[in-house]
Amino acid sequence: MRAKICGIRSEADLRTAIRAGADAVGFICGVTHFSEDALEEEQARRLSSLTPPFVDRILVTHLVKPESIARLADSIRADTIQIHGLVTQDTVRRVRQLARGRRIIKAVHVTGADAVEAACETAADCDAVLLDSRTTNRLGGTGLTHDWTISAAIVRALADLGRPVILAGGLTPANVTAAIGAVAPYAVDVNSGVETPTGDKDAARCTAFAAAAHRVPTPFELPVRQR
């Protein structure tokens, strides 16, 4: 199973994530809600340029204008765009048109059972759906888990579409194995759960998180198309 370490905000964070075996790293840039890990565009561009091959560089943004999202992805040379803001389906479709072949991940906040319908609706216009927790002030990085039974229902609902689901929200090295067992996602995503009290990425926690994910075979399968 693949593991993403998000909220990379320094060269030290990036080195820690890479050494831990992260498959992807997230750069939070262009925010409308609070995030301690938000980067200025130039910072995100520099860290992206230092990321080695075969590690996916993911732009995580709250921006809501498709042109602004696409321009920022171009600027920092992201491989994947994670639309984490409160946007319409028309916006997601337009970002895909402007994305120059980049993969699109759309965040769905699991705040109730209506998240199943929201995930199914957005799945047609993106390459993966990311399930996260949220609060009034935060769209991510909450340190809070959500109802994994709803997340598991979303995984089942999207399986026939061949749309992978990434699980985020309050994950840590201590609970990620249980989360994977409960939800059966394609990948897991962590930020605050592998940080020191000062907000830096902790080497031991990052390594433990990635190792726990990598021990689990991914349950995701491409759908069988009828001839």
Query: What are the DSSP calls for 151-183, one per residue?
Result: HHHHHHHHHTTT--EEE-SS--TTTHHHHHHHH
Q: Rounded to two decimals, what is the model's pTM?
A: 0.92
Q: In this predicted structure, what is the pLDDT of residue 118?
A: 93
pLDDT tens-digit map of 174-223: 999 999 999 999 999 999 999 999 999 999 999 999 999 999 887 776 66
Task: Answer whether residue 219 is part of any domain.
Answer: no
Conformation bin of residue 63: beta by default, left when phi > 0, alpha when psi is -120 to 50: beta
Task: Answer whether residue 13 is part of any domain.
Answer: yes
CATH number of the domain encompassing residue 125: 3.20.20.70
Task: Answer whether residue 226 is part of any domain.
Answer: no
pLDDT tens-digit map of 93-102: 999 999 999 9
Listed in sequence order, the DSSP H helices in 81-193 are 89-98, 114-123, 148-159, 176-183
Task: Answer whether residue 96 is part of any domain.
Answer: yes
Task: Answer whether residue 225 is part of any domain.
Answer: no
Q: What is the DSSP letter of 194?
A: G
Task: Answer whether residue 221 is part of any domain.
Answer: no
Closest Cα partner for 96 from 84, 87, 105?
A: 105
Q: In this predicted structure, what is the pLDDT of residue 223?
A: 62
Q: In this predicted structure, what is the pLDDT of residue 224?
A: 57
Q: Which residues of the chain have pLDDT under 70?
A: 136-142, 221-227
Q: Which residue do the tokens 């389906």 mark?
A: 89
Task: Answer whether residue 220 is part of any domain.
Answer: no
**Dihedral in degrees, nearest 10, Cα atoms 162, 164, 132, 201:** -170
Q: What is the average pLDDT value for the chain, to the nearest integer?
A: 92
Q: In this predicted structure, what is the pLDDT of residue 159?
A: 92
Residue 93 buriedness (CB in 10 A; 0-12 / 13-18 / 19+): middle
- Give the domain range for residue 204: 2-214
Catalytic site positions: 6, 132
Task: Answer whether residue 19 is part of any domain.
Answer: yes
Q: In this predicted structure, what is the pLDDT of residue 227?
A: 45
CB-based contact 222:38 (threshold 8 Å): no
Closest Cα partner for 107 from 42, 182, 169?
A: 169
Distance CA 155, CA 207 (A): 26
Q: How many domains does the chain have?
A: 1
